[in-house]
Amino acid sequence: MAPPKTKAATAAASSITSAPTTTQTLEPYWEYRFEVPHSSILTIKLVSGTAEKDGTELAPNTPYAFTATKSKINTWHGCTLEITAPSSGTYDAYTSEPNADETPMVSYLNLHFKLESLRAAAQRTAQMGPRVLVVGPPNAGKSSLVRTLTSWATRMGRQPLVVNTDSREGMLTLPGTLSAAVFATLIDATTDWGTLPSSGASAIPVKLPLAYYYGLPQSDDNPKLFKRMLGRLAIAATSRLAEDIDVKSAGMLIDTGGVPAGTRGAAYYDFVAHIVAEFSVNIVVVLGSERVGSEMQKRFSGQITSVGETVTVIGLDKSGGVMDRDEAFMQSIRESAIREYFFGNARMTLSPFTQQVDFAAVSIWRISEASSKTAADGGGITYDEGEVHTDMLEKAEPSMMLQNCVLAVACASVHDVPDNIRDANIMGFVYVADVDEKRRRLRILAPVSARLGDRPLLWGSWPEHMVNLLI
């Protein structure tokens, strides 16, 4: 595929009083790609024509404010955009000018129409719709592709079940979780997946996810726990498909983390195989990597699912507009998500409930990490029942180590056995603002007023301590 022609258009706002507005005209198949840091807000308005962001169609003459994002707006038939630069701060943007033969968006659209034909057939026969798994290297655009396919499906009147298996990023919830949600309405174009359920009223219907807390950044940090959480999520997802005929025919779209480099890649492929088995995946989409595509073909091509379907492996090119997101940028994204969960955003300010809790009044369980990981023995962890593994949960006593930590509130009782607490989905999160070891008390922030002593609290290393939440 020939590389698209690009025309640089880097812009910067210089003063607090000036917010220059420019007009950008896009021809069919062109894209407007932009990068906005956390300190800036870029406003984009569709003046004429049609355009979309990750499959969500922009409403005409409606301003969309973007911050802390690297994304693009594409058009199939041409459009005119009105770009209002930040009143303070900077942003980077340029226009990509591919034709229909040069843009991978055409292949993404072809995949969507193929999925639609499978959904229509499943609807006629009351069978299960396609279960699609998207894999690939980091920064290949996997989440963007899943969002795009989701948005296109909802525009066709479908209700796909979207599953996130990447604990480094949260879908409609905070990082550290594995989650699933049915998407029956459009996605807020100014966000990745939509407004968090705790963020108050929204013009766009809020999606309510089912989430399980893993509490660690990498799948191989505790392989047995990760696979256990995947299994619980798969049971819940397949049950929803069985109970809701509209969701059943729409099927599933499953997002994954990037394929890690080096020896950890082998463990990643084992987790992918586990996802394929647990969710009865029948379509594996490999984005932006021939090497990963070859591995997927070797493992799954011709394999039969639990419902008797053949697994199909599809390779797609990644978009030229995919931008690398370094660790500093991703940490800022995580901190913004936590801040929004407790304090809201520019459109809705929230006031979290603060309470003092005695050490003895809370039940805290810490997520265990795998110890002594080496390349030779796979981390001292094996993946089958009955073999050597670290414990998944351990009872923890409150201490100064809890300060500035986010804890997950399990949908279980403090009197439940550890296995039930581990397997429970989560109700939400609280933040430990202060630990007074002398008085043996915790100062805790929560989105709502509720007694914490009735629910176990799960403590993991992900997301990281956020020391500046109250600053």
Residues comprising the binding site?
31, 70, 139-144
Distance, in Å, from the CA atom of 193 to the CA atom of 45, rounded to the nearest integer, reads: 20
Distance, in Å, from the CA atom of 106 to the CA atom of 28, rounded to the nearest integer, reads: 12
- Taking the CB of residue 113, how many other CB atoms lie within 10 A of it? 11
Distance, in Å, from the CA atom of 91 to the CA atom of 37, rounded to the nearest integer, reads: 7
Find the distance separating the first CA and the last CA of the chain, reported in whole Å: 49
- Would you state the structure tokens that stand for residue 250, as one six-digit string? 């729409």
- Would you state the structure tokens that stand for residue 149, as one six-digit string? 């396919």
Which of 190, 122, 145 shows the shortest CA–CA distance to 340?
Answer: 190
Binding-site residue numbers for ATP are 31, 70, 139-144
CA distances 102 to 112, 220, 314, Å, are 18, 38, 19
Type of residue numbered 244: D
R_g of the chain computed on alpha carbons? 23
Phi-psi region of 271 (alpha: psi -120 to 50; beta: other; left: phi over 0): alpha
Q: Which long-range contacts (CB under 8 A, 24 or more apart) does 335-341 make?
A: 335/466, 335/468, 335/469, 336/38, 336/68, 337/170, 337/174, 337/175, 337/196, 338/174, 338/406, 338/431, 338/463, 338/466, 338/469, 339/469, 340/196, 340/199, 341/174, 341/196, 341/198, 341/199, 341/429, 341/447
